[in-house]
Chains A and B, each alone.
Chain A
Amino acid sequence: MEVQMARPFINSVKTILQQMTSIDVETEGDFQPENNDIISYGVTSIINFAGKVKGRLLLDMEPDLAVDIAGRLTNEAYSSPKEHMVLAAISEINNIIAGDANTFLNNTYGLGLRLTPPVVFTGNKAIISIPKIPSVSIACRTSSGKLKVNIAFEGGA
Chain B
Amino acid sequence: MAPPRLRSPLSRAIGLGSAKEGVAHWWAQRVTALALVPLTLWLVIAVIELAGADRARLVDWVHHPLPAVLLILLLTATFYHGALGLQVVIEDYVENETLRLGLLIVMRLAAILLAVLGVFAVIKLSLGA
Partners in one complex: no
